A and B are shown apart, each in its own frame.
Chain A
Amino acid sequence: MNMRRFALIAVPYFWLLALFLLPFLIVFKISLSDMALAIPPYTPTIKDGISALISQLDFENFAFLASDDLYWKAYLSSLRIALISTILTLMVGYPIAYGMARAPEEWRATLMMLVILPFWTSFLIRVYAWMGILSNEGLLNQFLLWTGLTGEPLQILNTTTAVYIGIVYTYLPFMILPIYAALDRMDESLIEAAEDLGCSRMQAFWLVTIPLSRNGIVAGSFLVFIPALGEFVIPSLLGGSGTLMIGKVLWEEFFNNRDWPVASAVAVILLLILIIPIILFQRNQQKQAEAEQ
């Protein structure tokens, strides 16, 4: 009996240890190392012996990150972009989820399918497609010029606007699905009860629908915010050089500068920043599970 319980607990712990903690420790170790022209491109390595390995580690790279304003500006810019795009995704996603939950029963499966369908195409291809839409000669500008709404093409690609469009588009399903789940579970007679007790439609929405879909909103927002914070593909393909995001900085440190230690330090800090929303998210999920019992 005790063995079985131990085994049950051991599996998830082993999973976390092997797939999260161990890689993190490796990255953390690299972040404390120095750059070297070698393979792997840092020193010391395990070949130098344990004592040398430990004695040569230092926090130099973290000090460097603090001294160069590029990095903290990138972190702040990432936070801002992630936050704004989370709010935008919520504003677009909530009405869609609401519409789905209120749609006739027989339509819902189809609507759900339409939300998930884009996942069947490669993410990269979809972002490239947006480049085709947003570029100066792209579909959107051609359409705007054709209708005469603008005299000359709008510069959308390679601006932060394009990054917002890309993030909202990519992460929309992550926002819609938890909100839809919350709204779908809601008893419609609650809205009628609110109206019966003197609420207008709008009041009933704010006082009943929104609070009861709160867990879905929080879950969806974190599911968008967390990956958007470290997003790399969207800002580098759609945002151009003007958009500063920490994911892009990380990529450049790794592949352009081949500075693994600094890149690792960037990653460690990013992870520390992300731990806060991840813990909040976990708490929300836990509270929701408790409320449902």
Chain B
Amino acid sequence: MNWLLISPIIIPFLAAAVCLLCRHNPGRHKILSLAGAVLHFGACTALLVYTTRNGMIAMQAGNWPAPFGITLVADHLSAILVAVTGILGLSVVTYSTADIDDPLIYAGYHPVVHILLGGICGAFLTGDLFNLYVWFEVMLIASFGLLILGGETRQLDGGVKYVMLNLLSTLLFIAGLGLLYGMTGTLNMADLHGVVQAVPDKALLTAVAVVFMAAFGIKAGLFPLFFWLPASYHTPPAAVSAILAGLLTKVGVYALIRMFTLVFTFNIAYTHGLLLVAAIATMVTGVVGAAAYYEFRRILSFHIISQVGYMVLGLALFTPLAITGAVFYLLHHMIVKANLFLISGVCQRIGGTMELDRLGGFYRHHGFLAFLFFIPAFSLAGFPPLSGFWAKMILIRASLEINAWIAAGAAAVVGLLTVYSMTKIWGEAFWKPVPENAAPSEGGIRATADMRLMLPIAVLVAITIVIGLMPAPFFALAERAAHELLHPEIYVTTVLGGV
């Protein structure tokens, strides 16, 4: 059981080490990387299966009893997110074997991807706040590396902004961590849950909570802290964009959900009220930003922001149904968003550019690709019966239940505007004829015939369709995750009681 819990973290690091050893042989390198991703996927899935059968599990690293040692915990939320990380990791690594050229492999692309996957799983599974900080740093340095690998000018330019704001976030995180430790004397999250209730100066503690909110808000891309995201996500290769878009901001959302259901729940009216305002502003600014652009991946980048707003909305409303909605949204969004970035990479290979006014004719000449784009794009926009429709419906219904009319209205209007910018991509790149100023397509492989590119996209589309047509089991899973989040005593007993 302990091995089950730690293998999603260990396997990527082992894979990274092995890949690093033979990076001068791209052929063998790709196979080893793929093998690592398959193993990781297996471990992540096994953890989800075990958790759904046996409930929450915890392990103490080195058998140091909690709260003194470092705890790893897998509740339903963590297990779901780790499983999705496994799926996306495998998809992106498969896609990369065709998408990433040899120079980037010599530069160490695959090891860095595996380190990123390990860091993300570590962040999802840790039960210790300082350990979470360390995983954030692991993810951060890996994402820095991926973002600027290749060293094109626009990558470096985007990377500078990304690095500047994200370093600020980690500084805020560790400052908040130091202050929280000064007040409570513990950094174990389960222990913190009990100890913060006894802290006399709740006003000061609320200030610390807001420091954490800002730190994780930068990571998640919340309004008004998201400006690093649209500055950088459209610059690296498509496979890198996909893994960053699918996973990285979601770790920020996860950290927000964890801290604001487990630790900072003493002043819900203030903290969650603030989150509610930020969530609505995030949804609206993100979708308006997307409407203003005519570049494929920049539109998608702004959509990440508006969708993060939905997830945080679920947290901010803080009812069982709303948290269920947030978890369901995370699950649906990670798969759909990573997939759209993968598809944008194929479009770039065919059309030679990401500028929508110079793309066209995909529907006529690449019908299957158009179908593969249609499903995730309109799932993101919330068309029934695709997965995004259920996610949005749960959240809007949760808002209406507690008479949060503005939140419900914003969620509905933002959904409509999402349709607008998705139709924009559809109309420009897929529907209209090939424009006269079209760029020549990139040489090399025939993108739509290459299984290494198309298979991951098709599998992710299939998952989206399955979630859309049979939402019940996924909803039940999200509901159990929400139940655990709203009953922190389960988490506390698992960590502190069941050593």
Q: A and B, one complex?
A: no
Please report A residues at the B interface, Cβ cutoff 8 Å: none
